[in-house]
Every structure is written in structure tokens, then in C-alpha cells.
Amino acid sequence: MIIVMKAGAAKKDMDEVLRCIKDLGYMAHVIHGTTRDVIGAIGDERGKSALQALETLHGVENIVPILQPYKLASLEVKKEASVIRISDDVAIGGTQVVIMAGPCSVESEEQIIASAVAVKKAGAHILRGGAFKPRTSPYSFQGLEEEGLKLLAKARDLTGLPFVTEVINPETAEMVAEYADILQIGARNSQNFALLKKVGQLRKPVLLKRGMAMTIQELLMSAEYIISEGNQSVILCERGIRTFETATRNTLDLSAIPVLKGKTHLPVVIDPSHGTGNHHYVAPMSYAAVAAGADGLIVEVHPDPEHASSDGAQSLKPDKFDIMMQKLRLFTEADGRTL
């Protein structure tokens, strides 16, 4: 249920509603809107008649049932789009299309610094790079782990770019959160509910990737796990799903952008690198994603993709990324947005 507070409701009125929700055995999640606040009361549906009685409390405007199974991620609970603040200069979900760029894996100090400088020069807002890499093969490069996090932090200090990196298990989540500006949940962990709960408790922005065989509703339910733990800073990422097609690594579902925009207030980012698996297709899919309304892109860029430890075939060289960014500005301007 959603308890909609009156515009300008006093703090004591809000506190009384929160107390009553707790007494009824529900979890209360306050969502601050531009003109009024709403409270999501989450719990056993059998007690909803008792919640309905809260409509008589001072400061309550009305009470509305939430129809979707993803309660807190739904547009029913928050009508306006969420804007996730990453740093003083970067926010995802507003009028700026935010670009995250960098290599799949952190391989060395020289490599990550060169990547960070190059993507910054081209106009990227956030550095991406993997310190922990869950791989299909146990014999593939697994990442530099904490040393990789330290190198990402060094690149941030040098360029001013905040960085996003992947969290692969609950045990290392707190360590990653000490370094990273955004915690990424990869496709293979998108239904690792213990990990989702953990990052929900860490209060760092989370980039949640769609699983390879995950429906849109399942993606939103995974987001719900994070938000239900108190972390409302969730960014959804479409990175391609597995279909019968073999011409590309995955099938990039660009229709997910308008579908998600019609269901959730959370921002939507597109990963054209994993979505196609081929550097030739990254730029066209990036333009299409922005035209479809994506709030941002996460793109793999590597100074020497031919010798990359992972995903070299889908990584852009810095000069190609720079050309893509120049053309991308035309698409953002046509849509009345900025880059």
C-alpha cells in the first residue's frame, strides 16, 4: 500500500504514520517527491484493511494499493523519474545522458590510467573497469581484486572520474564499496538474492544488469530486493539477452527502454558492448539507445583491445570512442538532452 501524505504535512504527522505502520508489522519506506512525500508499506497483503484505516490520520491525503509485485520500484509508488546522484557533477536519470566507459578488466596501472585519461578526454562521465571478474571458464582471467580497486581509485584521483566496478559476492561487497562510487551487479548475479540484499544495505548506487534469460518483471523484482533493504539508488541496465541468434553475442533488447520507462521510476542504462559482442556494432546501438530514451550507456574502451585480458573483440579503441561521442552529441541534442 502507498500512504500519500498531504503537501506540507508536518514531521510529527509523518512520524505518527511511520509508527502505526511499524505497529501493524509492515516495513515503511519513505519516498520524497517534489511536492509531497509518500510512504510505501510493504508486508503481508492480508493486513491491508488495517492499513486502509490509516487514512484517518492527520496529514494523510489518501491510501492507494500497489498492484505490481515490484512495489517500491513501481511508478505507482513514485510518479516522477528518479535521479541517482553519483557525484557533485554526475547524476543519472536527469536531462544529461551519462556515459560510463573503460576496459572490461583492470589489467595494470598503465592500462587503466591510459583508459581513464582517454575516455575523460572524449567526454565520458564515469570510468568503468572490473577488479573482480566472474568468468564462464575457471581458467580465464579473474581480475586483480583489491589491487584492481586501488588502481581504479588512483585513476579517479588523477582524472576526477567516479568509477563503477562489479561486486561478485556478499563477502567482498563491503570492501568494494569502500573504493567504488557505483556497485555493479553483473548478469550472472542478477538473481543472487543474498548479494542483492547486501548491496541494498550498503547505501551506494547500484548498477543492476539484466540477466541473460531474465524477463523485465524479473529484473524489476531483483531491483525490489535492493530497494526493500533501504537503498533506493538503483540503476537498471539492459545488456542483451540470450536468444537463438548467433550473429551477435547476445540480442540487445532496446525495446526494454520504453517498456521499463512505462513501469518504473528507476533510470535505464544500455550496455551495447555486451549486448552485441562486436565493436563494429557498439556505436550504432549506442545512437539507437539514446534515441529510444536511455538515461546512459556503459561502453567498453581499451587502449589495446587486441591484447586485452577479456572482451577485446567488443572494446572500442580510444579514437573510435571519441568519434562515437562526437556523433552521439547530435542524438542527445535532437532529443533535447545533453551529453
Stronger pLDDT, 44 or 192, i.e. the higher one: 192
CATH superfamily of 84-334: Aldolase class I (3.20.20.70)
Q: Look up cell 551487479; give the residue.
A: 185
pLDDT band at 158 (very low <50, low <70, confident <90, very high): very high
CA 24 – CA 14 distance, rounded (Å): 16
pLDDT given for residue 317 in this prediction: 97
DSSP state, residue 164: E
CA 44 – CA 72 distance, rounded (Å): 15
325, 150 in Cβ contact below 8 A? no
pLDDT, one tens digit per residue, over 263-305 is 999 999 999 999 999 999 999 999 999 999 999 999 999 999 9
pLDDT, one tens digit per residue, over 316-339 is 999 999 999 999 999 999 999 999
pTM given for the model = 0.92
Per cent of the chain over pLDDT 90 is 77
pLDDT given for residue 136 in this prediction: 62
Query: What is the chain's percent helix, strand, coil content, to nearest 5?
Result: 40, 20, 40
Name the nearest CA neighbour of 264 among 203, 231, 221: 221
pLDDT given for residue 141 in this prediction: 61
Domain ranges of the chain: 2-64, 84-334
pLDDT band at 48 (very low <50, low <70, confident <90, very high): confident
Q: Which residues of 249-271 are buried (b: 16+ CB within 10 A; e: fewer)?
A: bbbbbbebbeebbebbbbbbbbb
pLDDT, one tens digit per residue, over 64-108 is 888 888 989 999 888 899 999 999 999 999 999 999 999 999 999
Chosen CATH of 2-64 out of 3.30.465.10, 3.40.50.10860, 3.30.70.1140, 3.40.50.300? 3.30.70.1140
- What does pLDDT average to over the chain? 93
Q: Which residues of 219-244 are buried (b: 16+ CB within 10 A; e: fewer)?
A: bbbbbbbbbbbebbbbbbbbbbbeee
Q: Averaged over 231-250, what is the pLDDT?
A: 97
H or E stretch including 3?
A: strand 2-5
H or E stretch including 61?
A: strand 60-64
